Amino acid sequence: MGLLRTVGVRDGRAALPDGFWAAVRVWLEKPQVANRRLCGAAIEVEGTLALREGGEESASFAAVRGSEEQGERVASAGTAELGRLWREVCAQLSPWHGHLPPPLTPWAGPDPRAELRAVLRTLLPRARPAGSPAPPRKELAVQDVYNGTVTFLPLEENSEGKYKIKKCNIYQIQLVCIKDEEWSISIVAPFPDDWFSDGIAYPKLAWLENELLSKLAKWSLEQKPSEFKSTLSLISVAKYSKVYQDLKEKYKEIVKVWPEVTDPEKFVYEDVAIATYLLILWEEERKEKGLTKKQSFVDLGCGNGLLVHILNNEGHSGRGIDVRRRKVWDMYGPGTHLEESTIMPGDTHLFPDTDWLIGNHSDELTPWIPVIAARSSYSCRYFVLPCCFFDFYGKYSRRQSKKTQYREYLDFVAQVGFVCGFNVEEDCLRIPSTKRVSLIGKSRTYPPAEHALIDKQITQYINNRQTCAVVMCNRKVACSHKAHSDDVCKEPSSELPENETETAGTVWMPGFQPREKVEQIRNCASLPRDFVDDVVLSVANLLLNANSQKSCSDTHDGNTNTWNQGESLSLKEVAEHLHKETLKRLKNEYGGLQTLLKNNHQVFEVLNGRVHIRDWRKEKPSRKTKPEVKRRLSAEAFKTRLCWFFIHHPDGCSLPSESCPYAHGTEELRQSQKIKKKKHVQ
C-alpha cells in the first residue's frame, strides 16, 4: 500500500544522482513549473542536520542559512526557529521512534558524519478568478543524500503558533540505483487511503504519481545549468504574488478598452507584472535605506505608457518619454505624465533629480540608460529589460559564437553598467515574453570623489565600441543587400533629427540614430493589394506548372479525385522567375519574398526554405482541447474570406464547401466579427 508508482530511468550520460537532486531543487524552489495552480514557493530557511552515530538526529543545526538566491531574505525564525521546528517534528514522529512511518525509507546511515538537509518552504497558490484565495501552505522537506530520499512533511499551524505535521499528506521521493546505468525513481505515501487533496497545494495522489514523477524523471536526465538566474530571485515571491493579483484585478478593465492593434492581454498583464516587480523592489529599497518618500522615475522609450500609468497611480512621481505618441495615452487622464519627444543621449537629456531610470524594451536606448544614469547623478539608479539588440551606434553585431545571441547581448549591457560604475544585478521576470531578463544598477562601485575618473572611463569605452564597429565593417568585402549594409555598417552621421540641431554640441555620439517618429510598416502588409495578388498568382502558377504531371489522389465520399498539388521550389528558384522590379520592391520589406508568401498562408506553405502549394486536406483538424478563445476566433473567421483555390486553382478547391474554412463563392461569405468590433469601438 504506500508505494504509489516507480519509473525506471536509464542514465547513459552519468547525470545521476546529481541530476536527481537538481530536479528536486526545481520542485522545491519553482513548484509552479509542474503544478500550475501554484504561483511559486518561498524558501523560508534551510540548513543541515548532523546525525549522531547510530543514525540519531542532533537537535542543533550545523549550519543554517537562507538559500543563495534568496540572499538574506529568510524568515525571522532563523536558526533557533528551525531547530525548534525540527525537535517538534521528531516528537510528532515518536510512534516510529522519531523516524518515518513505513514504508518510507528511514533517516539513517552507517557513516556518523552523515547529514540531513532541511528546507522550510511556503507554497503560494495562484489567485482564483472568483472567491477568496487559497491560503499558503508550509512544508518541511528533508533531504537524505545518503539514502537518496527527500521527504515532504506538510505543516499546519495551530492557535498557539506551533506546527503540527499533517500526517495523512506525508510523501517521499526515492532514487535507487539498480545496477550500472539502471535507476528507479519512486513516490511513496504512508497513508494513501487518508490522503487529503485541496486541488492546489495538496494535489491528488494520481497527479503525484503520473505528472510529478514523470517530470522529475525527465528533469533528472535533462538537468543543465541555466545561463540565467532563477525567476524573481531578488524579491519576495510571496509578496510578488499578492501584489500582482491585486494590480491585475485593479487594471483588468484596460484590456476591454485597449485601442491599440497590439494584443491587450499580453501587453497589459506584462506591464502589470513589471510594475509589480518595481514596486516591490523599490519598497524593499526604502526599507534598506530607511526612506519614507516613494522613489521618482523616468521611463525612457515608454511606448504605450501603461507602466508609467500604473506607477503614477501607485504613488510614484515620474514620467514617460517616447518618440511617438500612442492612442492609448488619451485614456490615462491627467495623473499620468507622458511626453512625446526624441531622446538623444547627451547633456540635455540628463535627469539629476530622478531616482530611477527605466528601460522597458527601450531598443536603441538600452545600452545608453546606464550611461545616462551614471551621468545624471551619483544617486541615480536604473532598471533595463533588454529586448531588441542595439549597440551605442546602431544594431548590435555578435562577437562570440559560444553563447546565444541573447546571452551575449545581456552580458554586453551588463558590462556597460560595470564600466559606468554600477554593481549590476540580474533577475528573471515572470512575464509572457521570451526576453524577460532584467539588469538592475542599484549601487555604485566607487566613491563620489572618483566621478570624473569614471566619466572618462565611460567616454573611452563608448569610443572604443564605435571604433571596433567601423573596423568590423571595413573588413567586410561587400554586403549583398544595401539595406542590410545601411543598418550595420553605416558610418556616423553628423545630421540630427529635426528640432535637435541646437543640441549638437552636447550629443555624446553624433552618429546615434533614434527611432523614427512615424513608424514604418515593412512586413509586406502595406503593399498594394493588386501587387500582392499578382505575386501570389505568379508564384502559384510557377509551382503548378513546374511539373504538370505531378498530382495526388484523395478520396471524398468514396470517389477518387485528382488534384494538382504542384511542385516545391526553393525561395531562390522562385525569386529567379520574378521580375526585377518586383524583387526590388520586395527587398524594401523586412523578410521580402518569404514574408509575403508566409502572409498568404491560405495558398502557400514555406518549410526549410522551400515553397509549397498548401494542401488543406493534410491540415490537422482542430483539437478538442484547443482553448475556448482560439476556438471562438476560428469560428468567427469561418467563411469570412473567399477561397483562393476555388477561384484560381485549375482543379478548384481540394476540399468540399462544407469542410473548407473559406467561402466557395460570394454567396457563402460571412461578415467578419472583427470588423464589427472595430466599428463598434470607433
Question: 287: burial class by Cβ within 10 Å (0-12, 13-18, 19+)?
Answer: exposed
CA distance 543 to 539: 6
Q: Which three cell numbers stand for residue 405?
A: 545571441
Q: Which pLDDT does position 368 carry in this prediction?
A: 97
CA distance 184 to 669: 59
Calculate mean pLDDT across residues 338-360: 95
Q: Which pLDDT does position 424 carry in this prediction?
A: 97
Lowest model confidence (mean pLDDT) among 205-214, 284-293, 398-407: 398-407
Calculate mean pLDDT across residues 13-33: 91
Give the CB-side neighbour count of residue 330, counting CA atoms within 13 A: 6
Task: Judge contact between 323 and 349, C-beta under 8 A.
Answer: no
Q: Calculate Rg over the CA atoms of the chain.
A: 31
Within 8 A by CB and 6+ apart from 520, the residues are none
What SS3 class is residue 328? Answer: coil
Question: 256: burial class by Cβ within 10 Å (0-12, 13-18, 19+)?
Answer: exposed
Calculate mean pLDDT across residues 192-203: 93
Q: Which pLDDT does position 308 carry in this prediction?
A: 98
Q: Which pLDDT does position 462 carry in this prediction?
A: 92
Per-residue confidence at 680, pLDDT binned at 50, 70, 90? very low
Per-residue confidence at 557, pLDDT binned at 50, 70, 90? very low
335 pLDDT exceeds 50? yes
Lowest model confidence (mean pLDDT) among 94-103, 364-373, 476-485: 476-485
Three-state SS sequence of 74-90: CCCCHHHHHHHHHHHHH
630 pLDDT exceeds 50? no
108 pLDDT exceeds 70? no
Give the end-to-end CA distance of the chain in Å, rounded to a whole number. Answer: 65
Per-residue confidence at 401, pLDDT binned at 50, 70, 90? confident
pLDDT of 436-445, one tens digit each?
Answer: 999 999 999 9
- Which CB contacts under 8 angstroms, 24+ apart, belong to 489-497? 490/394, 492/393, 492/466, 496/344, 497/342, 497/344
The β-bridge partners of 340 are 322
490 pLDDT exceeds 70? no
Q: Which pLDDT does position 609 carry in this prediction?
A: 87
CA distance 466 to 460: 10
Q: Which pLDDT does position 231 carry in this prediction?
A: 86
pLDDT of 210-256, one tens digit each?
Answer: 999 999 999 999 866 667 778 898 998 889 988 998 999 999 999 88
Output 60 or 375, whichever has higher pLDDT.
375
CA distance 617 to 222: 37
pLDDT of 494-527, one tens digit each?
Answer: 344 444 433 344 789 877 877 776 666 555 677 8
Q: Which pLDDT does position 522 carry in this prediction?
A: 57
Per-residue confidence at 92, pLDDT binned at 50, 70, 90? confident
The DSSP string of 554-577 is EEETTEEEEE-----EEHHHHHHT
Output 103 or 9, whichever has higher pLDDT.
9
270 pLDDT exceeds 70? yes
Lowest model confidence (mean pLDDT) among 283-292, 463-472, 538-547, 548-557: 548-557
Global pTM? Answer: 0.68
Per-residue confidence at 588, pLDDT binned at 50, 70, 90? confident
Q: Which pLDDT does position 71 carry in this prediction?
A: 43
Calculate mean pLDDT across residues 552-572: 69
657 pLDDT exceeds 50? yes
Calculate mean pLDDT across residues 47-74: 48
Within 8 A by CB and 6+ apart from 3, the residues are 103, 186, 187, 188
Q: Which pLDDT does position 519 carry in this prediction?
A: 60
Beta strand 115-125 with 149-157 is unpaired
Within 8 A by CB and 6+ apart from 343, the residues are 300, 301, 321, 323, 349, 365, 514
Q: Which pLDDT does position 109 carry in this prediction?
A: 62
Q: Which pLDDT does position 113 carry in this prediction?
A: 58
Q: Which pLDDT does position 610 carry in this prediction?
A: 93
114 pLDDT exceeds 70? no
What SS3 class is residue 610? Answer: strand
The pLDDT mean for the chain works out to 82
- Specify the residue for cell string 566607487: 446
- Specify the residue for cell string 525527465: 218
Q: Which three cell numbers stand for residue 394?
A: 546602431
CA distance 13 to 197: 37
Calculate mean pLDDT across residues 556-577: 79
Q: Which pLDDT does position 551 carry in this prediction?
A: 47
275 pLDDT exceeds 60? yes
Task: Judge contact between 105 and 73, C-beta under 8 A.
Answer: no
CA distance 34 to 23: 11
Beta strand 318-322 with 297-300 is parallel
Q: Which pLDDT does position 553 carry in this prediction?
A: 46
Q: Which pLDDT does position 548 carry in this prediction?
A: 56
Task: Judge contact between 503 and 342, C-beta under 8 A.
Answer: no
